[in-house]
Structures are given as C-alpha cells and as structure tokens.
Structure 1
Amino acid sequence: MPMRHAVAARFVGLAVFAVILPGLLLPQSACGQQRTNSSRAGRTAAGPHIYKSTNFHVMTDLPREGAHELLERLETMHRLLVAYWGRRNPRPIEMYVVENLDHWPREVLRGMEQQGLESLRNGQGLTVTRVISQGNRFISKAVVYAVADRGMPQHEAVHAYCGHAFGASGPVWYAEGMAEVGQYWRENDKSVTASAYAIRYLRNSPARPLNEIVNSPLETTGDSWQNYTWRWALCHLLGYNENYTKRFKPLGLALLGGRRVNFWQVYGTQAQEIEFEYRLFLKDIEAGYRCDLCSWDWKTRFRNLAGSSSVSARIRANRGWQASRLRVRAGHTYRFTSTGSWMLSQDADELTADGDDQGRGRLTGILFEDYELSEPFELGADGTFTAPQDGNLYLRCDDAWGEIADNRGTISVNLILEKETAAAPPEPNSP
C-alpha cells in the first residue's frame, strides 16, 4: 500500500527494498494467547476475509479458526521481537496470507503489488517495504505476501517488523537468519525447533565456512533454502550460546541501524572459538538441542598431574561437555572415582555415574587439543583410563543432545595419576 503524499512531503529521499523468500522451512511453533477480532468473524466461506489483532491486519482465505490461530502465533512472535530488539512496531503490519489463490476475487488480486502476486503464484513469500527517510528520521510501510505454509507468514512478518521499527533488515545473512530464528521462536524456549529435514541437512552436509555465510557477495535474499538454513544455524548459535550472545544483540542493532560494522569486527578475536563451537553444533544438532547448555568452557585452567596430586570437578547432568581441569598426556593412565547421583528426567530413577543398563547416564570423557576433539570414551563411576593423546579432559553425562535440558543432579569426580605411570618412560638406548 503506497504512502500518503501528506506523510511523504515531510521527508526527502525515497528508498524502496523488497525481501523475497522462496518456500523454505515449515516449523512447529507454539502459540501464545492473544485476543483477536475479525471484521467477519462469523463467516467461514472459502473466500478471503480480514482478521485483525493489535499488530497485524491479515487478509486470508484460511478458515476462521486457522486465521485466529495464525494471529495468535504472530502476536506471540511480535512480543518476543519487541522484547529482544527493544523497539515497538509503530503501526499494524498488513499481510496477505493465501491458502488457495483460486478462492480470491479478481478485484482483490488486482489491488496487490505485482511482485507480491507473482510470489504467491509461485508458492513463495514476499515482503515489500517502502521507506521514506531524511537522515535518521524515517517513515516505513511494509506489506507481506505469504502462502499459508506454517512458517512462512512468521518469517515474512519478521522482515515487516524490522522495516517498520528500523527501516532496514540488515545484511542478507543477518536479515534472513533472524527471520528464520523469528519463525521458530517459542516463548520461554531456547531449544532447537527447526524442521526435521533442515536438521538432517545440517548434520549430513560439510560445514560451510563462517566467512562464506557472513561475507559472500554472491548470496542474496531468496537464493536457496539451503543458504537460509546455514544462516539460521549461525544466528541461533550466536543468539543462544553463552559465549557469544552478549555481543550478538548489539551487533544486530548496529546492523539494523545502518552503522558501518561487520561480523568480524565484533567476533574476530573469538574466530577460532566460534568456528569450533559452530562445527560442534552442526555435528550434534537435533530437535531440543540447547546451545546455552552446551556452551564450551573456555575459561577453566587445566593442569598436568604429578606424584599423588589430584584434580576434582563437579559435572552437571543437564550440561554438555564440562571441564575436568585435568590435562592428560598420551599413554599415561589415570584413575577416577565419583560420588553423587543424577537423573535423566525430573521423575526418573537416580543413577550413579555408571548410568543405566543401556549405558544412558554414564560418565563419558573426551579430549580437546588444538580445537579438535578425540572420539568420546566411556568412564563410569570409577576405574582407570589410558589417554590416547595429549589434551584437556572434558566430561559429561551421556544422554541424547536434545534431551539433556530436563536432566537433574551432579556427580563429583576425582582424578589422579596412576603411580606406575607417574614417571615418563626412559629413552631407548642408542645403538
């Protein structure tokens, strides 16, 4: 819908941009409770009707119940967007959400933007945002065109919100990555809720280099669902991982505000750490995965053992790999003992570090060296292990990555160097 001339006259300069989304991911999103009203609430015919809530005016041919459920999802997502970015939506977002274009009268179709109509005919989504600006002042108007696939209206509504609130969506990687994050957002839920086929794609594909995601001149809005999936994965990691989340929101606000800042200026000093955690996230990702609970410990100091000295660590059942404080040497044998118990769900039986009969809940180790990990190895409640390589020892309660959030309890682990391996083996005699 075009701007009124009376509004445009107060500003100089006109910028027009369009955000285009091909048919991509279809998430299952939880709905908040937002009271809605409809100008034709009692009608259930196949043709389109207008449904309104506080922040959305939606014309759709969805059944009345489906339209109200969509508005509830949109309002829940909007509340999360405002809470995250801290800027309100100044006017309702207008949306066309189409289940079947054959149900739409020609006079309504003629009133649509040609680009929007074409995107609907192609089973896609489009957000057209017009911005009239002068310096730091702007007025914007966004109109969403989206097929009624479950996630697409929410994805496009994120673009529309950014257009209204900021007059921009940021560079492609951030704009599309955060729109994907937005469509998956659930209230009070930090877990991965992406579609099953997106998760399979990420787990089974070679990890794309970070710079290829955030700095590729070849990537554009609407390029491919695969590119959208990589952008989502990076934004989800940065948004929830405890090591990077504090910098991510200020970076996003700077990008939305048009400031001359980029990913590497903000995260360059953490490049190796992010690359490591990004690859680990892609390797272990599954529905329910929690980046915050699996954030890597980069601060704990590790030390070698000598003589009868020992190290102790408390390992929580509801976290990923945790620092033991022990640095091991290849070929040396270490003894470990443990006390305490943990549970694999709130109401499950208590387990020792030996876990259950299937090995779930068993204390497990892994070695970190030069940003690479060894294969994990089982430990249990007590025993010995011989280090296959040098490295820092990390420990965890063995459970599915998407199921650790409801675990309970802590195991205390004590580690000591076995006496017979305390001294390094003698050098062989020279011939």
Structure 2
Amino acid sequence: MTFPLRTVLPFFVMIGTAGCDRNPAVAPSPPAMSQPATSQPARSPSVETVTQVDPSRPTPQPVVQKSPEPKVAEPVHRPDDDRPRHDDAALERAGIRKFESRRLVLYTDIDEARAVRLPSLVDALYDELSRYFGELPPARDGSEWQITGYVMRDTDRFTSAGLVPSNLPSFNHGLNRRRRFWMREQSLDYYLAHLLLHEATHCFMTTLPAANGPTWYMEGMAEHFAAHRMTADGALQFRILPKTPDETAGFDRVSLIRKEVDARRATSLDEVFDMRDAEFAESIPYAWSWAACHFLDAHSEYRERFHELGDPAMRSRFRREFDARFANDGPRLRVQWDHFIHTSCYGYDFERALLTLKPGQRVPDDDTHVTVAADRGWQSTGLRLEAGQRYELIATGRFSLCDVPKPWLSEAGGITIDYANGRPIGRLLAAVVADDLQAPQAYETLLDPIDVGGKGTLVAPTSGTLYLRLNDGWDRLADNQGGVTVAVRPIGD
C-alpha cells in the first residue's frame, strides 16, 4: 500500500520544526439549477380579466440563470527547489569536489574513493522511500527531485566557502534543512553511508509542508531506512536487521538495546512514544526509536496499520491516529514488544522468532498431543493451564539443529555440544502466558523459561496458555529441521 503525497503550501518544513496544518481545497458543489418564473395575475372567481396582446411586439422569454462552472482543482506540486547554486570551479580550487547523481549533488573534501559511491546510494534509497511512502508530487517546472549534501572532513573549509549557513545549529554528526544536509566525515565506511542515508531520508520525509511527525518516528524511520546491506550481486537492501556487528560497523543500535535490557533499563513503547527532542542528544533514544519502528514495520500483525501512519497528512496527529488503530492491542503489544527487545540480537530471525499470542482451551484429563517445530520460537499449544495445577510433559521425536559442518541430531533433552541462553541447544522449554496480559508477571516465564527436557513436570504459575519451544539461538533458527510431539496431561494430587 502507498499513499498519495499532497501539498498546498509553498514552503518547506525543517526537521524538528512544527508546520502549519493543511486544509485541502475542496471544489464547491454546483448550485441547483434555477427554474423560470411562471407567475400569473390573480383572478377573482366572479370577474374575468382580459389581457390585450400587441402582435407587433415580441413575446417576452423567461430568463434562465446559468449555474457557475465548477471550479477545477489546482494541480498539486511539491514546493519549489530553493537550493543555492555554487561556483563548482571555485569550490574545487578550495579543495571541495562535486559528485552528482540523479538524486544527490554531493560536495565533499573526503577521499574520492570514499565519496564516489555515495550518490548512487541515495538514488536507490529514493526508490525505496517512494515505494513505502508514495511518489512525491511533481515540481512545477518538471524537474526531478534532488537534494544537496555536504560531507565535511574540514568544517572550516566549508564555512569559509560559504557552504554552511551562519544560522545553522551546531551538530555532532549530521543535520538537515529542507532539501540540503550537512554531515561530518565518519571513519567507518558503513556508518559514513548510513549517516548519509539517514539525512537523505529526513530530506525526503520533510519535502512536503507540515510533514513532521513525533521525533521518535522521524528519527526511528530515518534509522530504519538507513540500515542497509549490499548483496553479493550489488543490490541494496534497506530496513535490515544487522547479521553481525562488522556488517554494520558503527551502527551499534542492537548492542545498545542489549546493554540497556541487561541493565534492567528496558524501555516500553509508551516511553519511546513520549521521547522529546532534547533526549536525542544521546545515542540511546535513537536505538529505541529504531527498534520501535523496525518492530512495528516487521510484525505481521501490525505492519499494515503502521504503514498507514506514514501518510504525511497524518503526522501532525500521529499519536491520536496510532491510538485509534491500535486501541485493542495494548496488552498484546506490551508482551510482544518485551519479548522482542529481550531476545533480539545480531542476526535475529524476526519471522521465526515472532511471538503469536493464541489463547488456549482447558487441558483434557487424557493425554493431549501437540507438535513443536525446531525452527520456530515460542509456539502456542492451544492448551490452557490452571494456576497451581501440576502437569506432566513427555516429548518424543528427533530433529536436527544447524547444518554446518553437518546436521546435529537431537531429542528434547538437548545436546551439550553447544549452549544457547544458558541451556543446551535442542532442550524443550515451557512458558505460561496469563489469560490477563495486564496482570503482574503475566508473561514472566517467556523471559525465564521452565526447563522441561524429554520428560518433566511443571506447576502452572498462573492460569493461562502453555507455550513451548526447542532451545536454540534466536539467530540460528533457519537451519533447524523437524520437531517433537509432546504429550500433556494434568497430574492429580
């Protein structure tokens, strides 16, 4: 789904600055057609009135009023391109070179080998942004959308050349204003490209007037689209989860989230939504904003509704629109978000690790058999356990873990050749998610599972649905095959 991007005001909005509301012009409905008057002289019932007609005079014709022509809506255009033009020859003499592509004019003093590849990245990003947010309205003069970037090793050189406005706020990494951005050179090649794509995303998202949303969304989406990788065939992928720290060197959002969670400073979605501009002087709010945008955009239950909020017309009332669309999902969002931030890692397999909440039915007195796949995360058994009741679980079957250098065969007891999350890989684990997702410790065992193995018993810590999984790293699920069958039955006193 994409959205038509619209504008009616001839000015830009700088990132972080509130814009004026837009009132789209509406053509008025044409008025009702006037009818000709057909008045007649009044007649008395006892007196007949005779009107003499002069045959030499033309008969008067009734006057018909024409309705006004309906107004034709003015064509919608994006704001005019107000980027300054520079003396490229003079800049080159000053040590500032120009590199240009369809979507980016780049002025820089960094090494040519690093600079030459950057403009084409913005060309590919523009296509990705257009697919997600929709095409921008055309320019009045028919010109293509393009931005100008200044990537600076020596900031004084650019200031002396008149390329840094005197009223531009100071910044540590990058800053954008309408269709221009400024950024400092980064030592790591990946992060140099990442920061450039981050600022270019801001330029695209704020091309239209009044297109600013809450800071967490604008910064989170810029981080989300800037997270990229180059495939073996040279294609660019955006909105990725990094596979390794080296793949996205300098982009430390995954490790920052992990450190915050391990230090018991996990941030809820509501806390992310309430972040203010001043908090983004530090790196951690960027990490949480990126995680929130990735989670909502990647989650199969939420991505379509989250995508709808990308319409620029909604951004000024973003939180109200979000709350309306997700009004019935608050408790589920809380559980699934907490699960995501506590389990995410480099190489995280989002689709296979996805927690799908499906409430269960009471466990029959006889054995009930459920299957557990080795290549998935937590899986609902569809069985509801009663708080305090003891249950026996017996698993049968074999499955394979990993496939390099060869598959490792395992049963539900697990194999100690390797460990994940502090337990042998392949070991059967259990969790009980409370019926009331808002209850204290409603899903504690998802984060601290109950050890079951090939055969075990558990006492339900709360009344709720039983979830099972075969232990492995959250980044190593894809190459697992097979699963086990688990018999579940209540145990009497």
Cα deviation, residue 166, structure 1: 7.2
Partner of 1:27: none
Q: 1:34-66, CA deviations, whole angstroms, 9 ceiling, x for partnerless residues? A: xxxxxx9xxx99932111122111111221121
CA distance in 1, matches of 2:175, 2:362: 58
Question: Which residue identity is paired with 2:184?
Answer: V
Partner of 2:241: 191
Question: Which residue identity is paired with 2:226?
Answer: Q
Aligned partner of 1:308 among 366, 369, 376: 366
Partner of 2:321: 262
How many pairs does the alignment contain? 370
Distance 1:189 1:403, change over 3 A: farther
Cα deviation, residue 414, structure 1: 2.6
Contact 1:346 1:408 (8 Å CA) reproduced:
no
Partner of 1:134: none
Question: Which residue identity is paired with 2:484?
Answer: S
Identical aligned pairs, as a percentage? 21
Q: 1:358-382, CA deviations, whole angstroms, 9 ceiling, x for partnerless residues? A: 32232322222233222213333x3
Distance 1:343 1:335, change over 3 A: same
Distance 1:180 1:386, change over 3 A: same
Distance 1:111 1:147, change over 3 A: closer
5+ long unaligned stretches in structure 2: 1-6, 18-87, 138-143, 230-236, 243-247, 419-423
Partner of 2:332: 273
Counterparts of residues 194-213 of structure 1 (less than 5 Å)? 194-195=251-252, 197-203=255-261, 204-213=263-272
CA distance in 1, matches of 2:8, 2:361: 64
Question: Which residue identity is paired with 1:112?
Answer: V
Partner of 1:85: 133
* 1:417 equivalenced with 2:492 (yes/no): no
Partner of 1:56: 104
Partner of 2:351: 292
Counterparts of residues 341-380 of structure 1 (less than 5 Å)? 341-345=399-403, 348-353=406-411, 354-357=413-416, 358=418, 359-369=424-434, 370=437, 371-374=442-445, 375-380=448-453
Q: Any idea what SS the aligned residue of 1:306 has?
A: coil
Counterparts of residues 399-414 of structure 1 (less than 5 Å)? 399-404=472-477, 406-414=478-486
Cα deviation, residue 270, structure 1: 0.5
Q: Once structures 1 and 2 are overlaid, which stretch shifts more, 347-356 or 146-155?
A: 347-356
Contact 1:166 1:257 (8 Å CA) reproduced:
no
Partner of 2:56: none
Counterparts of residues 39-188 of structure 1 (less than 5 Å)? 47-87=95-135, 90-104=144-158, 106=160, 108=161, 110-116=162-168, 118-119=169-170, 122-129=171-178, 142-149=179-186, 150=191, 151-164=194-207, 168-186=211-229, 187=237
Cα deviation, residue 245, structure 1: 1.1
Distance 1:170 1:288, change over 3 A: same
Distance 1:272 1:344, change over 3 A: same
Q: 1:175-211, CA deviations, whole angstroms, 9 ceiling, x for partnerless residues? A: 1111111221441774256515423443235233433
5+ long unaligned stretches in structure 1: 1-9, 21-39, 130-141, 426-431
Q: Any idea what SS the aligned residue of 1:180 has?
A: helix
Distance 1:385 1:147, change over 3 A: same
Contact 1:77 1:185 (8 Å CA) reproduced:
no
CA RMSD of aligned residues (A): 3.3
CA distance in 2, matches of 1:310, 1:214: 43
Contact 1:126 1:146 (8 Å CA) reproduced:
yes
Cα deviation, residue 160, structure 1: 0.5
Partner of 1:320: 377
CA distance in 2, matches of 1:348, 1:82: 43
Contact 2:314 2:321 (8 Å CA) reproduced:
no
Question: Which residue identity is paired with 2:132?
Answer: Y
Give the TM-score normalised by structure 1: 0.75
CA distance in 2, matches of 1:76, 1:275: 35
Cα deviation, residue 335, structure 1: 2.8
Counterparts of residues 322-337 of structure 1 (less than 5 Å)? 322-329=379-386, 330-337=388-395
Question: Which residue identity is paired with 2:206?
Answer: G
Cα deviation, residue 257, structure 1: 6.1
